[in-house]
Amino acid sequence: MTAMQDMLNDPVANFALSIADDLLMLGHVQGDWTGLGPILEEDIASSSMSQDDLSHSLMLYEYLGDRFGLDPDVIAFERGPDDYRCCDLVTVPDEFDWAVALVRRWFVAHWAVPALERLGTIGDDELKERCRRLRSEQGIHLSYLDDWMRRLGAGNGRDRVQAAMEELASHARMLFELPTGLEVEGHRSQRDTIFDAWSAATAAVLAEAGFTVDLALPAEEHIGGRRGRHAKHFVEQHTEMNEVRCQDPGASW
């Protein structure tokens, strides 16, 4: 069995990959907004958060690389599409609708903070420290995004944000699809703990902003990105993301 397969078969590694892959793809797709934000403040903030998400994914890939003897870039770019553990939400096209892009990032940030907290409790000291640092930095994103949700709830963009929430609700629940291996390793209660924290935190902000949306856990029989079943658009995103690396494999940057 190869080192890559060892990693993909490891439950804790799959949990770490679900976070890292979410942040990698979120940074990639949200990066399309660079230079296109509705106002300068948001353009700069969005680009900064995309860069953060990419660097945060790298911190987890580096940890996994050290543990399994793999190059972090190989983990990030040289897996087949079916081996990525990112959820459906982070890959859904936003069609350059700023409300969809904002709500998507808000849902993910609210998930990433408690997910990193739980991941830090089941790994070694090195993983715990990395999760602590990442949780703090993702928390900064979260505070910024929460403020924007409250502002938009009282502004002219209210209807567009409400429509984006309704559009993304079914994708948002797939944040909580159990990655391969975790459904049989006693991690279901971990998932439920993260969901409880996520739903309570999002509900509080939604109530303040005056938005409503039905958020629930995914049906157990629904198989999505966490278990390698991605939509067609993810394959296209994966090809685009890897285009330069495929032209010169193993190049040093």
| pLDDT tens digit sequence for 56-111 | 999 999 999 999 999 999 999 999 999 999 999 999 999 999 999 999 999 999 99
Q: Using pLDDT thresholds of 50, 70 and 90, give the confidence band for residue 178.
A: confident
Residue 11 lies in a domain: yes
* Over residues 223-249, mean pLDDT: 86
Residue 182 lies in a domain: yes
Q: Which of 82, 231, 218, 102 is nearest to 164 (CA)?
A: 102
Residue 159 lies in a domain: yes
Domain that holds residue 196: 3-247
Residue 241 lies in a domain: yes
Report the number of distinct structural domains present in the chain. Answer: 1
Higher pLDDT, 118 or 245: 118
Give the DSSP per-residue string, the chain.
--HHHHHHT-HHHHHHHHHHHHHHHHHHHHGGGTTT-SSHHHHHHHHHHHHHHHHHHHHHHHHHHHHHT--HHHHHHSS-GGG----HHHHS--TT-HHHHHHHHHHHHHHHHHHHHHHHHHS-HHHHHHHHHHHHHHHHHHHHHHHHHHHHHTSTTHHHHHHHHHHHHHHHGGGGPPPTTGGGTT-HHHHHHHHHHHHHHHHHHHHHHT------PPPTT---GGGT---HHHHHHHHHHTHHHHHSTT---
Q: Using pLDDT thresholds of 50, 70 and 90, give the confidence band for residue 220.
A: confident
Question: Which range, of 32-41, 79-88, 201-210, 243-252, averages the lowest pLDDT?
Answer: 243-252
Residue 212 lies in a domain: yes
What is the per-residue pLDDT across 119-170, written as a single tens digit (0 to 9) for each?
999 889 999 999 999 999 999 999 999 999 999 998 888 999 999 999 999 9
Residue 243 lies in a domain: yes
Output the domain CATH number for residue 203.
1.20.1260.10
Residue 252 lies in a domain: no
Residue 253 lies in a domain: no
Model confidence, pTM: 0.94
Q: What is the pLDDT of residue 59?
A: 97
Q: What is the pLDDT of residue 184?
A: 56
Tokens of 31: 């990066």
**Interacting residues of 72 by C-beta distance below 8 A, sequence separation 6+:** 58, 61, 62, 64, 65
**How distant, in Å, are the alpha carbons of 11, 18, 75, 142, 223 from that of 174?**
18, 11, 23, 19, 9
Q: What is the pLDDT of residue 186?
A: 62
